[in-house]
Amino acid sequence: MTRESTLSIRRCAKDDWEDLRTIRLEALADTPDAYGSTYEESVRWSNAQWKNAASTRLYYLADRDGRVVGMVSGGYNEAYPGTRWLYGMYVTPRERGTGTAALLVRTIGEWARSHGVSEVYLHVTTSVPRARAFYEKVGFRPTGESFEMYRDQSLTLITMVQRLD
């Protein structure tokens, strides 16, 4: 008899800091180009820093059968007043193509809608074509804006926006 697999998404709380660290460090090691921070700087964070991040920033964790398999963050961007942004998107390789990533995007859309906005923005690096294709598939469109990534000017970021229903 095979047991049914269970996927859940939960808002990250202080007690989830070890899961947050696990999946964030995995993301930074797996796809370094995709993120504004690096594995090398994040691996040096203290437990207190992870606990602080887990409890003060807005993260959602995807859990499959008790194991963290993905994450996403929602937040603001001072350069674009009044907007809501999707950051830190990641699903572990075995979870790709399953719909978990789309569920994480939907979760950020619900959070943004609860703030009274009708759009979600993100930046994506042009060197991660799978991410770009995924965002297009779930309804994000390029705004036309592009620029160099602050920490590595060899990388180009584009801005995408998703209109919420």
Ligand X SMILES: CC(C)(COP(=O)(O)OP(=O)(O)OC[C@H]1O[C@@H](n2cnc3c(N)ncnc32)[C@H](O)[C@@H]1OP(=O)(O)O)[C@@H](O)C(=O)NCCC(=O)NCCS
Parallel, antiparallel, or unpaired: how do β-strands 119-125 and 67-75 relate? Answer: unpaired
Q: What angle do CA 110, 58, 8 make, to 5 degrees?
A: 60
Shortest Cβ distance from residue 95 to ligand X (Å)? 7
Say if residue 69 is exposed, middle or buried (CB neighbours under 10 Å; 0-12, 13-18, 19+): buried
Shortest Cβ distance from residue 132 to ligand X (Å)? 7
Residue whose CB is less far from ligand X, 43 or 138: 138
Residue whose CB is less far from ligand X, 82 or 129: 129
Shortest Cβ distance from residue 46 to ligand X (Å)? 25
Which pair of structure tokens corresponds to residue 143?
Answer: 């705004």
Residue whose CB is less far from ligand X, 54 or 89: 89
User: Distance between CA 108 and CA 81 in Å, rounded?
Assistant: 18
Q: Which residues of the chain form contacts with ligand X (CB under 6 A)? A: 30-31, 34, 89-91, 96-97, 101, 124, 128-131, 133-134, 137
